[in-house]
Structure 1
Amino acid sequence: MIPIPFRKHFIPIILSTCLVLPAVLQSCKKKHEMIAEDMFRITQNEIFKKADTEGYIPVFKRVFTKYRSKTANPLAIESFFKKNEYQPLLVINHLNNGDLEALPEYLDKINEHGLDPTMYPSAEIKALVAKLKDKKAIKTIDEAYETVAKLEVLTAGALIKYSNALQYGVINPKKIYSRYFMATRRPDSTTMLATLNRADFKTLLDSIQPKSPQYLALQKAYRDSVTIEGLSREESKRYLLVSLERLRWRNKPFEPKYVIVNIPDFRLDVIEDGKSVLNMKVCVGQGRNMKNQNTLEHFDDTARADKPFPRETPILNSLIHSVEVNPIWNIPRSIATKEIIVEAADDRYYLSNKNIDVFKDGKKIEDPETIDWSQVTPDNLEYEFKQRPGEDNSLGKIKFLFKNRSSVYLHDTPNKEAFRHAMRAVSHGCVRLGDPLGLAQNLFGEGADLDTISKDMVEDKPNPTNIGLPKKTPIYITYVTCWADDNGTIQYRPDVYGLDIVLYAHLQSFLAK
């Protein structure tokens, strides 16, 4: 018996609970009935009138566990199902609008992008759709649950895998390349959930087909089995495959004006509104494959590990923010140990002839000729080296600065001979410019800053002049070995850093057979 003092408080609680409980039970009952109503409505199979959520969810979880290891991005897909309380929304919303018939058609055509359609369960999806649409094919409620759950899981996995492949590529370049510092968008849970929540899959699948002129040109060449001049048919195919994958990466310039350097082409372009308004030869860092001894023609899978030569120019994007006219070259320790101390040991006047100052603990040494450089080794090197401005300065008369983790920049050079050669992977990692004043004119435009730059570049000034750009300009240092030129002809360049070989190795399991 309830004590009298508590009765007046306890009775309202009992009444409240009695009122709420039927509402909760009614809500649960309605939720259980919804799957039956929806599935019967779209299939017209009487068996689905017996369906309820409590019976379906355990079957779904078992099916998802079975396919999980083969499902692309299982965490994102699982969060979609959890958020929707495991209701089979993909089947309910898309079985009768043509989407589930359309999806396998797109999956089967992914070989047109050079990718393997057998990696997608299009045949299973087709069979499951046909089974659900046959009013008499499913005989028991357990079979009904199993069929719906399989179609739900396979559809989600295939849709995400396909849309990610076409919109972002199948390889994450940051995971395979050691010196890749380009901002590159990758699919995240938000984008994947948005894909699964789309009301019309067919519209989505049409919209994500790559449409850039370059992609379409290389895709056509791949479909037509074009043999690129200078390559065999098989190597041509491999060039096209790695190039199509690169074009799928979300790392392309989006600004109306930018500077772009293509390492294998040894070329810089200034692009404005999609057109090159200035181009020039450049020299880039020395690479591991400059003699083209390793090619896609004679590919073997041992090339999966990226092992860059120390002087290779990194792939990156940044903003050019200023120039330094008559620059000082702060000689990197790597160059000092391998070149400077060796030359100084052979010629006691090498440092003074090259206008190189020597510092120890931040203090300049007045007579570096008195040092016995033959006794200085990379292990005991305690000096720093700086080359003063002048005609012999390795950076020439101007350098263009942009933030990056590799301490590289664009710069002039006193060594013009290298620009006469086809192979121009000759620098320590920075990019040497064939027409540095031309780039300055383009970036600064006419005015006092350009006048100062032009004047100081022809004078022997002992100190650098720093000038900020009126507007920072994006720069992209890229690696593209194959493209269609303005006439539609497929061009290729030797894989000077061997990066095609690394990418092709990682693409193997994704490629059409």
Structure 2
Amino acid sequence: MLALMAALALAPHPASATAETAFSPFAQGVAEAAGTDAAIADFYRARSYAPLWTTAADAPRRAALFGALDRAADHGLPAPRYDAAGLRSQIAAIRTERDRARAEVALSRAFLAYARDISSGATEPRKIDAGIVREILRPDPGATLAAFAIAEPAAFVRALAPAAPEYAQLMKASFDLRRAAASGAWGPRVGAETLKPGASGGPVVQLRDRLVAMGYLGRSATQDFDASVQKAVQAFQIDHGLTPDGVAGAMTLEEINRSPEDRLKSVIAAMERLRWMNGLDLGERHIWVNLPDFTAKIVDHGKVTFETVSVVGMNQGDRRTPEFSDQMEYMVINPTWNVPRSITVKEYLPMLQKNPNAAGHLNIVDRSGRVVSRGAVDFAQYSARTFPFDMKQPPSNSNALGLVKFMFPNPYNIYLHDTPSKSLFEKEIRAFSHGCIRLARPFDFAYALLSRQTDDPEAEFRRHLNTGVETSVSLQVPVPVHLVYYTAWPTPKGHIEYRRDIYGRDAAIFDALQSAGVALGLQEG
């Protein structure tokens, strides 16, 4: 620190910025160091090459930056990317105005990298998984530098992180998990395949101790799977999206035996996801579909006002449900199912080539919209590329979309809808669709949406339903819909709930962050 102060002590005060003309060694050095980085070059040119970081008067800015870089790992950010130690060494080594210019630009580059990462994510989602098609609002580098130049430095840097309360709650959870991982506080894995009420012995003690360590059970000396242990298992199951039967079966024990490190990776991935969504206006009323939670919720002014379980895309090829945000504009009552082209040629065409009467519940339609007689078509002559027909299922109780679908037109042909396959909602892992989201309570969902525009939403809905005719009903005010993927998410009280990584996306996010330089940072204390 003394070397740093000495290196900067003779640098001119910003008041003499008029002397930092394009002819000064400092200005020339900044221009050279900025190179093809247009945002940085334009910023310094616009301020007549007045320094931002490297005068004695710039100490508050340097302190704010280095304080943030030193804590970058706490946010699950790749601290090596910003190289705080290298910047300090570069400042300490300043001997000439050209040295100072190079340090000046290096500090600006580090600041912009940090500002970008903490405000909008350190990774590119589409490069991690083709199903993460979320649009990211990246900060403008020139505007960021200009705003910082006139702001209170520490406050500006603090405000770069997402302001969503969930971000701070996840960050606190990451500290707790790091301590638990470093100290081994959760103890050994439970060595059993299944444990039921009435069991006793060593594995029950392991289960008891792990539940105590994770906060689900008060301190206890019991060796029996008694009522208190059963209640704790049920609470754990609820928090982890498991059937709350109070039995520590194979799936429950698999989740109980997950390490603090595993949970920490989920939390770090969730923080990155929140950074990707930072700056996005969720909407005072919005629809929140968390894919690994298998739920769809309507949220009004931050509170869940409606919730239903859902079925999402199966974990297979292009059937995984993508992640993005859009606007729900209307619902279709008594919908026709227009079979997606991919399903038509991949699934139904091979069936029709073997048996022209296969999939008899579907109409085969030509490009003019006319129903084609199956007997008039030689299906064997067509390939997936040349098949000239569409397939449609008319409105009915057995329609694949059920009796209503909810539309937010998007390039991925994803929407929410009813389904005749009600039994799937009873399953614990509900990934069975071709990508769209099936709702267990679609009528109630429709009523909740229509409640903003009619005094009797149920009567309005059923008036259209009873016609049996396909009808579109517009939402007078479109509702933002967010298809998200959080395997770690805080309750309103800050308690973290976890879900299984059904598509492996969070594991891929953490791998990308780790490749960028993120470390778990497991230190005791």
Shorter-chain TM-score category? 0.7 to 0.9
Change (3 A) 1:251 1:39: closer
What is the CA-CA distance between 1:278 and the residue it aligns to? 0.5
Of structures 1 and 2, the larger Rg is shown by 1
Q: CA contact under 8 A between 1:183 and 1:251: conserved in structure 2?
A: no
Corresponding residue number in structure 1 for 2:334: 326
Matched position secondary structure for 2:419: coil
Corresponding residue number in structure 2 for 1:337: 345
RMSD after superposition: 3.3
Q: CA contact under 8 A between 2:324 and 2:482: conserved in structure 1?
A: yes
What is the CA-CA distance between 1:190 and the residue it aligns to? 4.2
Alpha-carbon distance between aligned partners in 1 of 2:371 and 2:429, rounded to the nearest angstrom = 39
Corresponding residue number in structure 2 for 1:360: 366
AA in 2 matched with 1:509: A
What is the CA-CA distance between 1:254 and the residue it aligns to? 3.0
Question: Aligned runs of 1:17-32 on 2, under 5 Å?
Answer: none
Corresponding residue number in structure 2 for 1:54: 23
Question: More displaced, 163-172 or 403-412?
Answer: 163-172
Alpha-carbon distance between aligned partners in 2 of 1:360 and 1:51, rounded to the nearest angstrom = 73
Corresponding residue number in structure 2 for 1:284: 312
Corresponding residue number in structure 1 for 2:243: none
What is the CA-CA distance between 1:434 and the residue it aligns to? 0.9
Alpha-carbon distance between aligned partners in 2 of 1:333 and 1:52, rounded to the nearest angstrom = 63
Corresponding residue number in structure 2 for 1:237: 264
Question: Aligned runs of 1:434-513 on 2, under 5 Å?
Answer: 434-445=440-451, 446-447=454-455, 450-457=458-465, 459=466, 461=468, 463-507=469-513, 508-512=515-519
Question: More displaced, 202-211 or 76-85?
Answer: 202-211
Alpha-carbon distance between aligned partners in 2 of 1:120 and 1:236, rounded to the nearest angstrom = 26
What is the CA-CA distance between 1:203 and the residue it aligns to? 2.3
What is the CA-CA distance between 1:63 and the residue it aligns to? 6.6
State which of 94, 97, 110 in structure 1 corresponds to 2:72: 110
Matched position secondary structure for 1:270: strand
Alpha-carbon distance between aligned partners in 2 of 1:157 and 1:274, rounded to the nearest angstrom = 37
Corresponding residue number in structure 1 for 2:117: 165
Alpha-carbon distance between aligned partners in 2 of 1:95 and 1:348, rounded to the nearest angstrom = 78
Alpha-carbon distance between aligned partners in 1 of 2:78 and 2:391, rounded to the nearest angstrom = 54
Corresponding residue number in structure 2 for 1:85: 48
Q: CA contact under 8 A between 2:30 and 2:105: conserved in structure 1?
A: no
Question: More displaced, 495-504 or 318-327?
Answer: 495-504
Alpha-carbon distance between aligned partners in 1 of 2:448 and 2:344, rounded to the nearest angstrom = 34
CA offset digits 1:52-97 (Å, max 9, x no partner): 86342476148716xx6xxxx933112212222333244348435x
State which of 390, 393, 397 in structure 1 corresponds to 2:403: 397
Question: More displaced, 174-183 or 249-258?
Answer: 174-183
TM-score, scaled relative to structure 1: 0.75
AA in 2 matched with 1:83: A
Corresponding residue number in structure 1 for 2:164: 212
Alpha-carbon distance between aligned partners in 2 of 1:169 and 1:363, rounded to the nearest angstrom = 46
State which of 294, 299, 313 in structure 2 corresponds to 1:271: 299
- 1:426 paired with 2:432, answer yes
Corresponding residue number in structure 1 for 2:103: 151
Alpha-carbon distance between aligned partners in 2 of 1:54 and 1:38, rounded to the nearest angstrom = 19
Alpha-carbon distance between aligned partners in 1 of 2:79 and 2:376, rounded to the nearest angstrom = 71
CA offset digits 1:292-351 (Å, max 9, x no partner): xxxxxxxxxxxxxxxxx2112221222111111111111112111233234445655444
Matched position secondary structure for 2:396: coil
Question: Aligned runs of 1:408-427 on 2, under 5 Å?
Answer: 408-427=414-433
Corresponding residue number in structure 2 for 1:17: none
Q: CA contact under 8 A between 1:88 and 1:148: conserved in structure 2?
A: no
Q: CA contact under 8 A between 2:20 and 2:48: conserved in structure 1?
A: no
Matched position secondary structure for 1:87: coil
Alignment identity in percent? 26
State which of 279, 288, 300 in structure 2 corresponds to 1:260: 288
What is the CA-CA distance between 1:418 and the residue it aligns to? 0.9
Structure 2 unmatched ranges of 5 or more: 1-8, 182-213, 215-255
What is the CA-CA distance between 1:167 and the residue it aligns to? 1.3
CA offset digits 1:437-488 (Å, max 9, x no partner): 111111101446642422444x472x31221112211111112121123454
Alpha-carbon distance between aligned partners in 2 of 1:213 and 1:51, rounded to the nearest angstrom = 44
What is the CA-CA distance between 1:213 and the residue it aligns to? 2.6
What is the CA-CA distance between 1:269 and the residue it aligns to? 0.6
Change (3 A) 1:419 1:263: same
Alpha-carbon distance between aligned partners in 2 of 1:51 and 1:208, rounded to the nearest angstrom = 30
TM-score, scaled relative to structure 2: 0.73
What is the CA-CA distance between 1:189 and the residue it aligns to? 3.4
AA in 2 matched with 1:152: E
Matched position secondary structure for 2:23: helix
Corresponding residue number in structure 1 for 2:149: 197
Question: More displaced, 416-425 or 235-244?
Answer: 235-244
What is the CA-CA distance between 1:426 and the residue it aligns to? 0.9
AA in 1 matched with 2:345: T
Alpha-carbon distance between aligned partners in 1 of 2:27 and 2:281, rounded to the nearest angstrom = 48
Q: CA contact under 8 A between 2:292 and 2:501: conserved in structure 1?
A: yes
Alpha-carbon distance between aligned partners in 2 of 1:62 and 1:253, rounded to the nearest angstrom = 38
